[in-house]
Amino acid sequence: MTSHAIFSLISAAITTQQWVTVAVVVACIIGLAVLLLLFNWGQLWFQGFMSGAQVSLLSLVWMSLRKVNSRMIVQAKIMAKQSGFPISGPSGVTTSRLEAHYLAGGNVPRVIRALIAAQRARLNLNFDQAAAIDLAGRDVLEAVQTSVNPKVIVCPDPKKGGRSMLSAIAKNGVELQVSAKVTVRTNLEQLIGGATEDTIIARVGEGIITAIGSSGTHFEVMESPVNISRAVLSRGLDSQTAFQIVSIDIAKIEVGQNIGARLQVDQAEADTRVAQARAEERRALAYAVEQEMKAKVTENRALVVAAEAKVPLALAAAFRKSEASS
């Protein structure tokens, strides 16, 4: 028996009422599935549809299965669409790219807000750069805001180093205590892999100390602090960092100790102690020579006494010899 014959027999066995029952059951299942979809994602899909975000209902279902926050993705696409960003194409803010960034641990809303802020400020920042900055652990929104509105860094930073003033010594030996304020803006192109604020503080501090150390007197620094700022800026301290230095302003200068004079006093005291030691050495040597001479005098006196003791003996021997001959 052929398959066509078997199908004919089954069709004849099933009545029209049974076909209607099966159709109703299938329709109910489909209706329940549609109601379930509309209940869970209908409002979100309708919000995206009315905003032109181009997020399908099926995409919302797959997001839930992949443990992706679908509401966050839809709101991000709506923000991108309303701000004029392309939401399709290889360079657009597509649903798949937003999902990938979310699954990689990125902060999707912050990236979108950073893109909008950069667009309003006419900064060259695309989605790939913003996502890379965010995944690198940097606050991309703060970076854009700092690029638009420069921030001020205190050098030295008392919160990090514990000191509130830099100590530098001019050529005349006078100590100057200096604090500076460094105005920087974010360099978005070097933000990934660029050095942080600590490097800027260290470089600026080193530059200020070097500039003061090359000054002839502390009066030159006190009269024109701007020369110190210019000398430090000319060194290109912001290379390979995540910031661009806008200005360096000397906020405070105080005159400290006269290190040169104190060193000269210490040197004079050291020289005096050395001279005293050498004089003491010469005195001890002279005393030793004197004692040696005294010993030699005593030795010579003993020799004289011994010689004087031999004179009577010689005289006696002579008398005896003369008597014997006579």
CATH for 196 = 3.30.479.30
In angstroms, the first-to-last Cα distance of the chain is: 191
Q: 5-14, 42-51, 56-65 — which is least confidently predicted?
A: 5-14
Same domain, 125 and 160: no
Q: How many domains does the chain have?
A: 2
Q: What percent of the chain is modeled with pLDDT above 70?
A: 84
Residue 37 has pLDDT above 70, yes or no: no
Q: Are 126 and 91 in contact (CB under 8 A)?
A: yes
Tens digit of each residue's pLDDT (9 = 90 or more) over 117-132: 888 888 888 888 888 8
Same domain, 113 and 171: no
Give me 49's structure tokens.
């549809």
Same domain, 109 and 190: no
Q: CB within 8 A of 171, min separation 6: which ones?
A: 213, 214, 215, 216, 217
Residue 103 has pLDDT above 60, yes or no: yes
Same domain, 181 and 236: yes
**What pLDDT shows up at residue 247?**
86
What pTM was computed for the model?
0.62
* Whole-number Å distance between alpha carbons of 72 and 46: 15
Same domain, 167 and 209: yes
Residue 145 has pLDDT above 80, yes or no: yes
* Whole-number Å distance between alpha carbons of 317 and 326: 14
- Residue 142 domain-assigned? yes
Same domain, 157 and 256: yes
Same domain, 128 and 142: yes
Same domain, 143 and 176: no
Residue 28 has pLDDT above 70, yes or no: no
Q: What mean pLDDT is reported for the chain?
A: 80
Same domain, 158 and 64: no
